[in-house]
Amino acid sequence: MAFTLARPGPKERVVAINGSGGAFTPIFFTQLCRRVEIIEDASVNAGVKQGLAYQVANDGSTNGFTNTQSMDGSDEPLVLGEQVPEWAGGGAILGNGADASGGFTIPATQMVNLRSLSATSTSVRIREFS
């Protein structure tokens, strides 16, 4: 008798982020993660995408989260990590969610800082792949 193990699907959530006049919104991992896709949520602002300004940990600066990059309001997601292979090993781990299960606490890893490119706040849809 053969059986197969199914890899769980991505964990998805929607996060509100500040407009360009506000502070960057820090986004943290919620689980052990190998790939992340972040896209502006078209269900807010009457479907008008504002674009995103973002900062990542490995931006080439001394401490990370320093250099700001941007992407217009296209339908392409911001992708962190590589494609997660099916049954061919794991792949590099980008970060982890908070964990207090072993008598000590591991804080969640910060994934990215985000804010809108315009003065209008917006929301993003985040998909985390384990």
What distance in Å separates the CA atoms of residue 29 and residue 110, rounded to the nearest whole number?
6
What distance in Å separates the CA atoms of residue 59 and residue 69, rounded to the nearest whole number?
9
Please give the CATH topology (third level) of the domain spanning 11-129: Jelly Rolls (2.60.120)
The candidate with the shortest Cα–Cα distance to 30, out of 118, 130, 117, is 130
What distance in Å separates the CA atoms of residue 73 and residue 42, rounded to the nearest whole number?
9
Question: What digits encode the pLDDT tens for the residues 48-67?
Answer: 999 999 999 988 888 889 99
So where are the chain's domains?
11-129
**Average pLDDT in the 23-49 region?**
94
Q: What is the pTM of this model?
A: 0.86
Give 83's pLDDT tier (boundaries 50, 70, 90).
confident
The answer, yes or no, to whether residue 3 has pLDDT greater than 70, is: no
**Average pLDDT in the 1-9 region?**
61
| Percentage of the chain modeled with pLDDT above 90 | 66
Task: State residue 102's pLDDT score.
Answer: 84
The CA-to-CA distance between both ends of the chain, in Å, stands at 28
Question: Which has more confidence, 38 or 130?
Answer: 38
115 and 17 in contact (C-beta within 8 Å)? yes
Beta carbons within 10 angstroms of residue 49's beta carbon: 20
DSSP 84: P
The answer, yes or no, to whether residue 10 has pLDDT greater than 80, is: yes
The answer, yes or no, to whether residue 68 has pLDDT greater than 80, is: yes
